[in-house]
Chain A
Amino acid sequence: MSAQSHPADNTAGSASTHGYNFGYLDEQTKRMIRRTLLKALAVPGYQAPFGGREMPLAYGWGTGGIQITASILGPDDVLKVIDQGADDTTNAVSIRRFFERVSDVATTEATEDATVVQTRHRIPETPLREGQIIVYQVPQPEPLRKLEPRETETRKMHAYAEYGLMQVELYENIARFGHIATTYDYPAVVNGRYLMAPSPIPKFDNPKMEDNPSIQLFGAGREKRIYAVPPYTKVKSLDFDDHPFRIQGWDQHCSLCGASDSYLDEVITDDRGGRMFICSDTDYCGKRREAGHVGDGGPQPAVEARLK
């Protein structure tokens, strides 16, 4: 499961992809994106516009992340692609296959073996380390968009660090529900300056962004914006002194591996209301089971066969 797999040979896939440049994009485009990435890293959390290109995948399916990944991949890289934490969901499989076809990089499902992790909606449970890069697919990079539809306005708000509106939104949550009712894409201030949409990761993952040794890159293809969090950077999730930021917690443990520290997916098991909870991070869960951890659901050969 954790073994690296190489494409069959250097022709990178079938005849239909023959003749494409390494990493699909042409070298000028990749250079343009790398320059934008440097700018984004230099101004943490700032949404740097870039000349986003049409990709052979639909907008909203990860074109921003794919363009970044294509621009930073080198022949020696090892790529992991996850969607919702899992390596085996359709979009993850499809993007991984794309890079197997248009570049010659090795791919892996193991977080610790990857040099580049492209993700949709999760940060792996296994801590990232220096030298690794995590690329987020971002549908809506503008954290203020829901509060202010006009780009001209939000640009000014960022320029003046005028984020009161977001604080008011969170306050209104508290007034209405008794607590902050934002559960994913939870706004955070990067390096004490820019308000950032952390992509639709659950707020469970927000603390992992802070002081992370890896490079975190965010790509929004449809909106043509790139932003970044450099290694060891402060990422503060918005909150109030009397309503501090809190992450989700579960009463259950993972039925497969017994983990109590990971983000859990609810799996419906029958039509009588039966359900179980399993790690959304398939690699993390698999590694724990390999190490002998068993969840309270006991061994689940049927489920494990599915997840293989």
Chain B
Amino acid sequence: MYVAVKGGERAILNSHKLIAEERRGDPSLAELTIEQIAAQFKLAVDRVMTEGSVYDPELAALALKQAQGDAVEAIFLLRAYRTTLPRFAVSAPIETRQMDVRRRISAAYKDLPGGQVLGPTYDYTHRLLDFELAANGGVGEPQAEAADEPLPDLMPPVLDILDREDLIEQEIADRENEPVFDLTRESMSFPAGRDQRLQNLARGDEGFVLGLAYSTTRGYGGAHPFVGEVRYGEVAVEITPEELGFAIEIGDVSVTECQMINQFQGSKDHPAQFTRGYGLSFGHGERKAMSMAMVDRALRAKELGEDAIHPAQDDEFVLSHTDNIEAVGFVTHFKLPHYVDFQAELQLVRKLRAEHAARHEMKEAAE
């Protein structure tokens, strides 16, 4: 007699062994080290840190190794680990003006104070498979040419130029004494303030935020943004311990920042002016920071008096679906048994069919 198999502990344990086996792959090959992943899969590590919302390249590399390179699974591991960490302080806002810049470009101005700094970017590579890389396994020790003089210490944000002419809306003034929404400690609420939206987008799935940003430029948002500036580099993180009463530096993080300039025709309350969209990611994550800046701007439609009719302008729609950890969980939970609810439905369908058949018979008998 055949009996439906119920899952047990042994099956689970064996399944764990199987993933360990798959993860290791061919045992005759050297095992990847965490250091190798952190150093050579840096962009993957940066994405995992951003969406996992923990700044720790080593942990992100470990998560990637454990997840066999699956970014979302690695993000999941990092988020779950993050849960167990106590919060000992809240940092002061980072000062990207003081950034130790490695890359800084503007699509709005050809030249500007501080200059365009191309830095490391794939933008101008030809996307041809590099068989040299496969043949030699590496490129030795490449060395980029150093500039004749170092970059200036202070590189003012490009949007300051527009700001001086009052052509762009003011950056939000210092809000040091205002409470900031904390998405990792509070549940989402609507309508969502910009602080909540930006936190959500920063942690949001890169692919999904990218798709939404794309939609705003394809007729579902009427946006035509200009990259005011993308900059990438190191900034210091400061906290103010209660017992000290003044700020101290606790380390550097590398971040990518995007300031987007958007057209705005003006409304009843606002004269015509450019508006801002803002994006920030850990490490080097330009695609994410740009997408985030575009969606941030789209979500401001209502406050700017624009018609909010497209998905990317709808805070409830956008914020409820950006988080890949939430999304993955719900979509995959359908793999779990649903015997009980399916049985309930099965019973109903049978009943409905029986009733339908009975009605049909009665009708035929009457004819």
* A→B interface (CB under 8 Å): 20-21, 24-26, 28-29, 49-61, 63, 83-86, 88-91, 93-94, 97, 120-122, 139, 150-152, 177-178, 181, 183-185, 200-204, 222, 224-225, 248, 263-271, 280, 302-303, 306-307
Contacts and interface: CB of A to CB of B under 8 A. Distances in A.
Contacts of B190: 151-152
B355 A178 contact: yes
A52 B93 CA distance: 25
4 pairs of A and B residues whose beta carbons are closest in the complex = A59-B329, A60-B333, A90-B7, A58-B329
A263 B187 CA distance: 36
A183 B6 contact: no
Interface stretch (B121-129, B132-140, B226-234, B339-347): B339-347
B343 A222 contact: no
A222 B330 contact: yes
Contacts of A265: 339-340, 343
B86 A49 contact: no
Contact of B80 (A54, A93, A264): A54
A20 B329 CA distance: 23
Interface stretch (B8-16, B17-25, B293-301): B8-16
A51 B185 contact: yes
Contact of B6 (A25, A51, A88, A268): A88
Given A58-B328, A60-B332, A91-B336, A268 B347 contact: no
Given A83-B337, A91-B336, A302 B84 contact: no
Contact of A150 (B2, B83, B316): B316
A61 B336 contact: yes
B3 interface: yes
B330 A139 contact: yes
20 contacts: A52-B187, A54-B82, A55-B83, A63-B329, A88-B7, A90-B12, A90-B336, A97-B12, A139-B330, A152-B190, A152-B316, A177-B355, A181-B352, A183-B344, A201-B340, A264-B343, A267-B3, A280-B339, A303-B1, A306-B6
Contacts of B338: 84, 121
A263 B188 contact: no
B189 interface: yes
B191 interface: yes
Contact of B83 (A54, A84, A91, A202): A54
A68 B189 CA distance: 21
Contacts of B85: 26
Instruction: Give chain B's interface residue range (CB within 8 Å of chain A).
Output: 35 or more
A61 B332 CA distance: 9
B84 A21 contact: yes
Main secondary structure of the interface of A (DSSP, over half): loop
Nearest to A280: B340
A32 to B, nearest CB: 8
Interface of B: 1-9, 11-12, 76-77, 79-86, 184-191, 316, 325-333, 336-341, 343-348, 352, 355
Contacts of B186: 49, 51
Contacts of A152: 190-191, 316
Contacts of A222: 326, 329-330
Nearest to B86: A26
Contacts of A21: 84
B2 A58 contact: no
Q: Name the residue among A26, A53, A60, A280 with the largest chain B CB count within 10 angstroms.
A: A60
B348 A183 contact: yes
Given A93-B7, A97-B9, A20 B326 contact: no
A238 to B, nearest CB: 17
A54 B325 contact: yes
A306 B330 CA distance: 29
Contacts of B12: 90, 93-94, 97
Contact of B86 (A28, A59, A183, A271): A28
Contacts of B332: 58, 60-61
Given A51-B186, A54-B325, A184 B83 contact: no
Contact of A53 (B9, B83, B316): B83
Contacts of A178: 355
A97 B325 CA distance: 22
A60 B337 contact: no
A270 B3 CA distance: 8
A14 B127 CA distance: 46
Contacts of B189: 49
Contacts of A121: 338, 340-341
A268 B2 contact: yes
Nearest to B87: A28
A82 to B, nearest CB: 11
A290 to B, nearest CB: 19
Contacts of B347: 183, 248
A53 B86 CA distance: 13
Nearest to B185: A51
B328 A59 contact: yes
Given A93-B8, A177-B352, 9 more contacts: A56-B80, A56-B83, A58-B333, A63-B329, A85-B340, A91-B336, A122-B340, A265-B340, A303-B1
A23 to B, nearest CB: 11
B341 to A, nearest CB: 5
A209 B337 CA distance: 23
B330 A59 contact: yes
B178 to A, nearest CB: 19
Nearest to B183: A51
